[in-house]
C-alpha cells in the first residue's frame, strides 16, 4: 500500500510523510496516557527511592525489616543530599529553564507536545522538592523506627494527592484540546443543506 493511499494525500511530500509518522499530538496518543499512569504509579511506590512495601513490612516486623528499611532509606537520603550539595544550583537553574521553555512553547505558541511535557514535568518538580525536604529532615533529625516510617508514609500520601490533581488537570486539558481540534476539523459541525427549487 502506498503512502498516498494511507494518508489520503495526492501530493504527499517527504515532510508531510515524516510529520504523519512522528505525530506530536500527545493528548490523543495512547502512549502519553500510559506514560502518565506509569509515572505516578512509580512515584507513589518508590518514596525517596524506597519501595513502599518495605515500609509496611517494617511496621509488621520492627526487628529485621526495620533495619533493612533504615539501611536502604539512609543510603538514598544521603545520595540525594550529596547530589543536591554538589549540583543543586545547576540542577535548579536547568530545571527552571526547561520548565519555563515548555510553558512558553506550550501556551505561548500553542505547541501540544510542549504542553504535555509541562503537565508531566511541573508536578514532578514539586515532588522532587518535597522529597528533598523530607530527605533533609530525615538526615538532620536522624529519624529511625516509627518516626522514619511516618515521614515516608506522609510523603507518599502527599505524592498521591499531587498525582490525583495532576491526572485530573491533565485529563481535563487533554479533553479540551481534543474537542477543540475536532471542532476545528468540522467533525461536529452540521453540514448546511442547500435549498432546492420546486
- The pLDDT of residue 186 is 54
The answer as to whether 144 is a domain residue is yes
pLDDT digits (tens, 9 = 90+) for 102-138: 999 999 999 999 999 999 999 999 999 999 999 999 9
The answer as to whether 77 is a domain residue is yes
The answer as to whether 1 is a domain residue is no
pLDDT digits (tens, 9 = 90+) for 61-101: 887 889 999 999 999 999 999 999 999 899 999 999 999 99
- The pLDDT of residue 103 is 96
Output the CA angle 81-87-90, nearest 5 degrees.
Answer: 135
CA distance 187 to 132: 48
Quote the cell numbers at residue 181: 481540534
Quote the cell numbers at residue 48: 525517596
Task: Provide the 3-class DSSP secondary structure of residue 41.
Answer: helix
The answer as to whether 72 is a domain residue is yes
Task: Provide the 3-class DSSP secondary structure of residue 195.
Answer: coil
58 and 69 Cβ atoms separated by less than 8 Å: yes
The answer as to whether 4 is a domain residue is no
Domain hosting 30: range is 24-183
The answer as to whether 194 is a domain residue is no
CA distance 189 to 68: 62
138 and 84 Cβ atoms separated by less than 8 Å: no
The answer as to whether 78 is a domain residue is yes
In the chain, % of residues over pLDDT 90: 68
The answer as to whether 17 is a domain residue is no
- The pLDDT of residue 175 is 93
Question: What's the chain's average pLDDT?
Answer: 86
22 and 106 Cβ atoms separated by less than 8 Å: no
- Count: domains in the chain: 1
Amino acid at each position: 500500500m502506498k503512502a498516498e493511499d494511507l494518508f489520503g494525500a495526492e501530493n504527499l511530500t517527504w515532510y508531510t510523510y515524516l510529520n504523519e509518522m512522528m505525530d506530536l499530538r500527545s493528548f490523543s496518543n495512547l502512549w502519553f496516557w500510559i506514560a502518565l499512569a506509569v509515572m505516578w504509579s512509580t512515584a507513589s511506590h518508590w518514596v525517596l527511592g524506597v519501595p513502599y512495601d518495605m515500609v509496611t513490612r517494617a511496621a509488621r516486623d520492627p526487628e529485621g525489616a526495620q533495619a533493612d528499611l533504615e539501611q536502604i532509606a539512609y543510603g538514598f537520603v544521603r545520595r540525594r543530599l550529596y547530589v543536591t550539595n554538589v549540583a543543586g544550583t545547576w540542577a535548579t537553574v536547568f530545571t527552571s529553564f526547561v520548565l519555563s521553555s515548555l510553558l512558553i512553547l506550550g501556551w505561548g505558541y500553542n505547541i501540544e507536545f510542549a504542553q504535555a511535557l509541562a503537565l508531566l514535568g511541573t508536578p514532578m518538580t514539586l515532588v522532587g522538592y518535597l522529597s528533598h525536604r523530607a530527605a533533609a529532615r530525615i538526615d538532620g533529625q536522624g529519624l529511625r523506627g516509627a518516626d522514619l516510617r511516618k515521614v515516608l508514609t506522609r510523603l507518599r500520601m502527599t505524592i498521591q494527592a499531587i498525582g490525583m490533581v495532576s491526572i485530573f488537570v491533565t485529563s481535563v486539558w487533554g479533553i479540551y484540546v481534543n474537542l477543540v481540534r475536532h471542532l476545528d476539523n468540522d467533525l461536529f459541525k452540521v453540514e448546511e443543506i442547500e435549498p432546492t427549487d420546486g
